[in-house]
Amino acid sequence: MQMTFRWYGDDDPVKLWQIRQIPGVTGIVSAVYDIPVGEEWPLELILELKRKIEAAGLQLSVIESVPVHEHIKLGLPGRDRLIENYRRTLRNLGQAGIGIVCYNFMPVFDWTRSQLDYELEDGSTALIYEEEVVRRMNPLTGELQLPGWDSSYRKEDLQLLFEQYASVDEEKLWDNLSYFVKAIMPAAEEAGVRMAIHPDDPPWPIFGLPRIITDEAALDRFLRLYDSPVNGLCLCSGSLGANPANDFPDMVRRFGRESRVNFVHARNVKITGERSFEESAHLSSAGSLDMAEIIRALRDIDYAGPIRPDHGRMIWGETGKPGYGLYDRALGAVYLNGMWEAIGKERAAGQQ
C-alpha cells in the first residue's frame, strides 16, 4: 500500500516539507480548492498543484474531492450541464496523470461532528459526535457552524435546500446517484481515473436528510450501479466503524477481493453511546476498532493502493484545522506502516 497524507494547499498550516519527513509517507491527497462547485477544473491548475507537490519530493496520489453539486444530488433541471463539467474535470485529471478521485454523495452536510475540541483524558482534543447534541441543533437558524461542511451557505440557501430535499427520500437519492454514476463512469474509464465514493459520515441520517452509503448492503448496491473497477470505494474505518454493526475488516476482504477498494481512510473511533463516538488515537487500544485486524485484512487482499491516516487528535499544543494537525496524523501514519511491515514479515517468515 502507499501511505499518503491530506494537504489543504498553501494555506494549510502543515507544510509539504514536514510531510516529506514522516517515515514512509510518499503521497499527497489534495484538491484544487478555489473552483466553484459544479465548474470544470482547468488542466493548468491541476498541473500547477501537481508540480508543487512533486517539487517537494512527493506524489499527488489522490484528489479528494471533486465535490458533487447539490443540484445533481437533488436531480434538478440543469444537472446534465454540471455532470458534463464533472466529466471534463475527470478528463483533465486523467491527462495530468492523476489516477484516483474520492468524492461523496451526502446531502448538504459533509462529515459532521457536534464538537471540535472535546478534551480527552490525556489532555489532547478531538472531534466528537453526540447524537443528543446534534438533535438539538438547528441548521436553519443562521448561527450554526458545523465542522465539516461548507459554511458559505447563507441562511436562505439552506432553507431552500431543505425545502428541495423534503421530496427526496432514500430511494430518490439512490435514483439520482445512479444517474450520476452511469453518466460519469464512462468518462472515468476513458481518462484512466478510478473513482472512490466515501461513505456517509456519520453513517445515518442527520437533520432529517437521507443518507444512503452507510453499510455493507449499501456498498454492494452502489457497486452494482456500474460494474467496473473504476466504480470503486473509499473504505473509511472511522465513518463505517461509527456503527458497531459494521464489520469493517470483513468489508475490506469482501470488496477488496472484488477489486473495488480504490482508497482507504484509516482512523479509530471510541463508541460512547448509541450513535455517539469520539475520535481517538489510531492505536487499537485507544478506540473501539481493531486497527491491527484492519491492516491484516488489507494484507489479505494484497492491497496496493493509497491509504491515509484520517482525522487525528490535536496534541502537544498544536493549533490549526481540527482533526488535521500534523503530529497525531504523523504518529498514525508511522503506526499503520509499522503494522503493515510487521504483518508482512511475519507472513513471509511463516512461508519459509
Task: Kindly list the catalytic residues.
Answer: 198, 236, 265, 310-311, 324
Q: How far apart are CA 149 and CA 165, in angstroms?
A: 17
Q: For residue 285, what is the DSSP state?
A: G
Residue/partner pairs of 138-146 with CB below 8 Å, 24 or more apart: 139/108, 139/109, 139/207, 146/109, 146/112, 146/113
Handedness of CA 23, 95, 261, 207 (dihedral sign): positive
H helices of the chain, where? Answer: 16-20, 43-55, 70-74, 79-95, 131-136, 155-165, 170-191, 216-223, 237-241, 248-257, 291-300, 326-350
Q: Which residues contact 136 (CB under 8 A, 6 or more apart)?
A: none
Q: How far apart are CA 81 and CA 135, in angstroms?
A: 36
Give the count of alpha carbons within 13 A of 196, CB side only: 26
The grid cell for 302 is 494484497
Measuring CA to CA, how many Å separate 18 from each of 53, 188, 224, 271, 297? Answer: 12, 33, 41, 32, 30
Closest by CA to 261, choosing from 227, 300, 305, 221, is 305
Strand partners, 102: 64, 196
Q: Which residues contact 250 (CB under 8 A, 6 or more apart)?
A: 216, 297
Q: How far apart are CA 308 and CA 267, in angstroms?
A: 9
Q: How far apart are CA 321 and CA 148, in angstroms?
A: 10
